[in-house]
Structure 1
Amino acid sequence: MQISKIILYDEPTVPEIKLESLKKFLKETFPITIETRKNFFDSGDEKMYEKIAQTRIFDLKKPFTPHMPAKNDMLIEIQNKDMSNLEEMTLYDGYELQKNVLGQIPINEMNFETLHIILTNKLTCTFDENDFRYHARALIGSNPAIISTTGIIEAPAKPKKYYLELMTNFSNDKIDEIKKKYAGEFLEYHDSRLSEIVEGYLLQAIFYHETGEAFCNQNHCRLFNAHWQKDLLYSQIENKQFCAKHQNILKKFQN
């Protein structure tokens, strides 16, 4: 492997993610050094909060426009709230966020041999020129790589029947009833399965850094880019295997 060290940053608002377990998983999978650190966005540096707030998205149908953050935007960054308790989510341009994060990493730690992987509850999105709108993303690859715990829940779609039933039932009681009906078929906030799911995104971040390809088109592979929750749960929970191609690549990494 070209990577000799991974620095993994925690997200304290998602206690279901077991950082030490993820560290153990990576050490058992790759012959490299794994270091864990506290939340990347909990530095207390107001300049960093300002830069992060600058990456907020205000129009889902227009490409990113640079802007100066308001005081309320800064407050959101400082508080680092649990996204599951928010009625309205804050959206971030994934590439702009990545660029600003890169500027906060010490120069001596920024090299190809050291991969920074940042877990965050911030909902990262990228603008798609094909349909001219932003889409939620679970992974922003490269170095530093950003894994959005909120993106894992919001980006892959839930069952079609779930959405159809929601469209015809608007009361809170009905919504809760529908959620219970489909319980287990998709990830929810503070889901006990999140840590296992994150393992797959860690693998995707590492493979992308090493090979330039993060995803696989085989839905039974842990590198599969799942657009549906059912596929995400199958590849990362039920199957938890690599396809033959990526298993061979993994063996080369391990030698």
Structure 2
Amino acid sequence: MDEVRLYGAPTTVADADEIGRWLNDRVDASVQVHDRFLADKDVARDLAQARVLSPYDPETGNTMTGIVRYEERALEDPSRAGGVIYDGYAVQRALYPYTTEADEETVDIVLIDRALGTWGGDGRWHKRVAVLGSPALVSVPGLYEAPAKPEEYYKEKSKYAMAGGIPPREYLETEVDGEFLVEDDPRTTDALKGYALTAYGYATTGEGFCDDERCRLYDAHRQKGVVRAQLREPEFCDDHAAVYGTEEV
């Protein structure tokens, strides 16, 4: 691959420029960072069709006029989007025609401000941080929502919800035992780096996530695992250190 095009999600705290610099030090390609991935408004119907309707129903889609118009407005102003889960593979197919002319020498990695999911063999949808492929999608809200948090977190959140409120991040961080990330967490940028690198590795070698929970290419299913893999030393397992390791931090 000659080039990586990394697209930011400006409505989130994820710093695409910093992720791009980190990638540039570790991959054998030139990394170009763009503010956001702009798709044509025609993709709005595809996004509406990709909406997950029920956690336990594999069928997706609501293409009523009002929903399609909502998606059109969200494409123009991403701050309007939120509160919806989308079939990650359907979104990927919808965005593919808008990638870099399907250039085989370019890897497109899109940081996206929408929650993505994939249908599981257990008969329900599962939120994902990353959907590998072309383009690779890395969901910023997925970083907070997909890996499971400590049980106490959900108990405290339920208490606030019953009172009609949302617990502040500072409260959760101090009152709930365990390591986890929450919305707008200042560690978001660092935590997303490994997912972006995994997307590059998949595009160039076909290799997916690493099985070593100490490696940044590991796909943790619990928040504690995300913190360990993305924010703790060592940065990589031995095999991936030989490929992506660098003395720069």
**TM bucket normalised to smaller:** 0.7 to 0.9
CA distance in 2, matches of 1:185, 1:77: 37
Note the alpha carbon deviations across 1:40-99, whole angstroms, 9 max, x for none: 1x45x321222222211112212234553432343245232366xx6xx11100000000
Moved more, 209-218 or 134-143: 209-218
The structural deviation recorded for 1:224 is 1.1
Secondary structure of the residue that 2:227 maps to in structure 1? helix
TM-score, normalising length from structure 2?
0.85
Moved more, 70-79 or 120-129: 70-79
Task: Specify the code of the residue in structure 1 equivalent to 2:163.
Answer: S
- Over 3 Å counting, the alpha-carbon distance change for 1:20 and 1:76 in structure 2 is same
Task: Specify the code of the residue in structure 1 equivalent to 2:35.
Answer: K
Secondary structure of the residue that 1:7 maps to in structure 2? strand
CA distance in 2, matches of 1:204, 1:174: 33
Query: How many equivalent residue pairs?
Result: 239
The structural deviation recorded for 1:217 is 1.8
CA distance in 1, matches of 2:204, 2:89: 19
Q: Which residue of 2 aligns with 1:150?
A: 141
- Residue 235 of structure 1 is aligned with which of 229, 233, 241? 229
Q: Which residue of 1 aligns with 2:59?
A: 64
CA distance in 1, matches of 2:194, 2:204: 15
CA distance in 2, matches of 1:20, 1:123: 22
| 1:113 matched to 2:110 | no
- Over 3 Å counting, the alpha-carbon distance change for 1:47 and 1:240 in structure 2 is farther
Which structure 2 residue ranges, 5 or more long, are not aligned? none
Q: Is the 8 A contact 1:224 1:235 kept in 2?
A: yes
Secondary structure of the residue that 2:203 maps to in structure 1? helix
Q: Which residue of 2 aligns with 1:49?
A: 44
TM-score, normalising length from structure 1?
0.84
The percentage of aligned residue pairs carrying the same residue is 28
Q: Is the 8 A contact 2:52 2:61 kept in 1?
A: no
Q: Is the 8 A contact 2:92 2:137 kept in 1?
A: yes
